[in-house]
Amino acid sequence: MTETIPGTHLDRFPAHREGPFHPPRAYLDLQRERPVHRVTLPSGLEAVLITRHEDVRAVLDDERMSADETVPGYPFLYEGAFESPLKGTFMRADGEAHYRIRRMLMKDFTVRRAQAIRPEVEAIVAECLDAMAAHGPPADIVTDFAFPVPSRTICRILGVPYEDREVFESNTRAMINTASTQEQVGAAMQAIFGYLDELVTRKSAEPGDDLISRLIVEELEPGRLDRREMITIALILLVGGHETTATMLGLGTYALLEHAAQRAELLADPGLWGTAVDELLRHQTIVQNPIQRVALDDVEVGGEVIRKGEGVLLVLEAANRDPRAYAEPSHMDLRRGARNHVAFSFGPHHCLGHAIARMELEVAFRGLFTRFPGLRLGGEPPLRPPGVGLFGVESLPVTW
């Protein structure tokens, strides 16, 4: 059992939110009283829970903290834990094994590249909004807007036909749901992998103007990537490129609808949208499963020593509400300069697609509320269950 701390409510791990717009209170209590705290996980393993912004950034940027789940002591969260779909990929690699793949991908995810595809994203947003307007109220922001925009965008970047989206959208949900069995996760991953395998075969014969084609020509054919690596990279980018941004679009829209005064400021001053996106990312951190690391050596964090072989859990949603980093952190202030948040993680594993995600969110939020300034909730949105690694709304009924 996890130790119960006097003055806090953490008697189990993981803690769950009590409402839609704030992280679990237990994590914030720990942040104040025991920012470096050992907990027993449902898997039976012990790990060090870290909740302060400064400490989280320090650990994420420390090469002595490994993302490799094969290292002894890696903090698997759940009972009956099975191999992650990411095992053996660059997402679970350290040092050169990780940088080797990032170097191949970085030029497709720069700020310059994000701005280059901005007109295409603006066109996608406009088409989705046209369809909403033509259909007329009510609408569901999640199905009518939040998912189509990033799905169509990442499909365009990778060269995946958007009409095949059901293959990756439904199977992604199975992969991120912690209630899924090993068989369900394996089947979902294999479905996407098999689809992409066929797509790589087609693009090898006839390359296009897209990322998968570029990787085939520049990396696969010269032998710098093998076929399995190539397909796995495409899978990670496809899954990560639509689900996270879609989740943030849904939850962020909900937050904006509940903060009418700040929404009015944005409509009056559209130049605020870029700053507003970072504050939404900070305030509404969607990653509710902590980031996992394991210490490769003794490391001092927050005045305490984490021993070699100890697992570490980094709570991003708590770090982004740390009063040491942000004044009145529970208050959503869309004029706040929150660029140093950790919603995209930090350090070597900082989200590769952060520039494109920021651009998509800005274009989508601005387009939605400019087109429908009278947008309002059409009912209470159901929240995702705690077992899903990304917090958000299952649906978001609106009218105007």
Return the structure tokens found at 345.
């993680």
Task: Quote the pLDDT of residue 373.
Answer: 95
The pLDDT of residue 187: 87
Phi, psi of 24 (to 5 degrees): -55, 135
Whether 2 has a pLDDT exceeding 90, the answer reads no
- Nearest C-alpha neighbor of 105 from the set 200, 239, 233: 233
Mean pLDDT over residues 323-330, rounded? 97
The whole-number pLDDT of residue 4 equals 43
- For residues 271-288, give the mean pLDDT: 95
Domain 25-399 maps to which CATH number in 3.40.190.290, 1.10.3720.10, 3.40.50.300, 1.10.630.10? 1.10.630.10
Helix (H) or strand (E) holding 141: helix 141-141
Question: Which pTM does this prediction carry?
Answer: 0.92
What tens digit of pLDDT does each residue of 170-229 get?
787 777 666 677 788 788 888 888 999 999 999 999 999 999 999 999 999 999 999 999
Per-chain mean pLDDT for the chain? 91
Span 245-270, pLDDT tens digits = 999 999 999 999 999 999 999 999 99
- Round to whole Å and give the CA distance between 18 and 294: 29
The residues spanned by each domain of the chain are: 25-399
- Residue 36, strand partner residues: 50
DSSP per-residue codes, 266-316: HHH-GGGHHHHHHHHHHHT--B-SPEEEEESS-EEETTEEEPTT-EEEE-H
* pLDDT given for residue 88 in this prediction: 82
Q: Which CB contacts under 8 angstroms, 24+ apart, belong to 209-213?
A: 209/159, 210/156, 210/157, 210/158, 210/159, 211/105, 211/108, 211/157, 211/158, 211/159, 211/237, 212/158, 212/159, 212/160, 213/159
CB atoms within 10 A of CB 200: 19
